[in-house]
Structure 1
Amino acid sequence: MEHITSTPTLKAPAERFTGDVHLTVIEAPTEPARLAAALVRFTPGARTHWHSHANGQVLHVTDGVGLVVTRDGDIARVGAGGTVTCPAGEEHWHGATDTTFMAHLALVVGDGAGDGTTWLEPVTDEQYRTALATG
């Protein structure tokens, strides 16, 4: 057993996120285990870029209200206590609404060469506004 008493919180990289996002890694994928887990905190309007995961992703909102949006237009507005699963290979983004903070636990199973995430282009302001209006 290993008891980890503190993990530093880091500003999420601008090449993967829009706005102010902070990341606290809970577990990094190390062989033979492949679980990656993080607490991700989004300020109002902040969001990920489009991305997908080789083995899918589970998002569990711990605070606030957020959006999870798929490339084909499905939108989930999720509050504290809600969980969204994104299947393997599904392109999506997630982030806070424009008026609330949002924090979620992000869980992925890596592909043996990392966490299995493929990062894509930023979500445009127009895509974000559309999701807010319809989600």
Structure 2
Amino acid sequence: MHITRRRPDTRRGPAENSTGTVWLDGTAAPPVPSRPRVFPVHFAPGAHTAWHRHPNGRVPHVLEDEGLVRRSGGEVKQIRAGDTVWIEPDTWHRHGAGPRTFMTHLAVVEAAADGTTTEWHAHVTDHPA
């Protein structure tokens, strides 16, 4: 057993992966061969991700406020604190805060065998925020 008492500092999300202000908190990432990754993501009002997908799917669990999520070809769905979303493996999607509030979600993702968790694509041009 290993207990981590100090997590990494909060860092700004890379501009190539999001629009607006996004903050990432320290990651819970046990050593190989374990593959789960868990980390809070904080979106300022109107901030959102670029299109992306995960090789083993992803579970964002909304911790605070409300936001929006959409899978490629689907409708924009509103998500609120307490909601949990299952995004299937290799499904292009995007998500972020609504236009008036912050949104924080706990991202739960399983890394692929090669350690990758996310494949990023184009920026979103039609986010309703």
TM-score range, shorter chain: over 0.9
Q: 1:72 to 1:43 in 2, by over 3 A?
A: same
C-alpha deviations, 1:30-83, integer Å up to 9, x for none? 310001111000000001110001000001000010111111123221111111
% same residue: 40
1:22 and 1:40 in contact (8 A); partners too? yes
Q: Which has the higher helix share?
A: 1
| Partners of 1:85 and 1:118 in 2: CA distance | 17
TM-score by length of 2: 0.93
Q: Distance in 1 between matches of 2:77 and 2:30?
A: 27
Tell me the distance in 2 between the aligned counterparts of 1:128 and 1:24. 24
Contact residue 44 and residue 97 of structure 1 kept, 8 A: yes
- Work out the CA distance in 2 between the residues paired with 1:40 and 1:10: 10
Return the structure number with greater strand share.
Answer: 1
* Alpha-carbon offset, residue 112 of structure 1: 1.6
Q: TM-score, normalised by structure 1?
A: 0.89
Letter of the 2:26 partner, please give it: V
Runs of 4+ in 1 over 3 A off after TM superposition: none
1:55 aligns with: 56
Aligned to 2:67: 66
Cα distance change on mapping 1:116 and 1:25 into 2, 3 Å: same
Local SS of the residue matching 1:25: coil
State how 1:33-112 maps to structure 2 within 5 Å.
Answer: 33-112=34-113
CA distance in 2 between partners of 1:78 and 1:41 (Å): 14
Superposition pairs for residues 108-119 of structure 1, below 5 Å?
Answer: 108-119=109-120
Summarize the Cα distance change of 1:29–1:118 in structure 2 as closer, same or farther, 3 Å threshold.
farther
Which consecutive unaligned segments of at least 5 residues does structure 1 have? none
CA contact (8 A) 1:44 1:98 kept: yes
Pairs aligned (count): 128
TM-superposed deviation, 1:90 = 0.5
1:5 corresponds to which residue? 5
Unaligned stretches of 5+ in structure 2? Answer: none
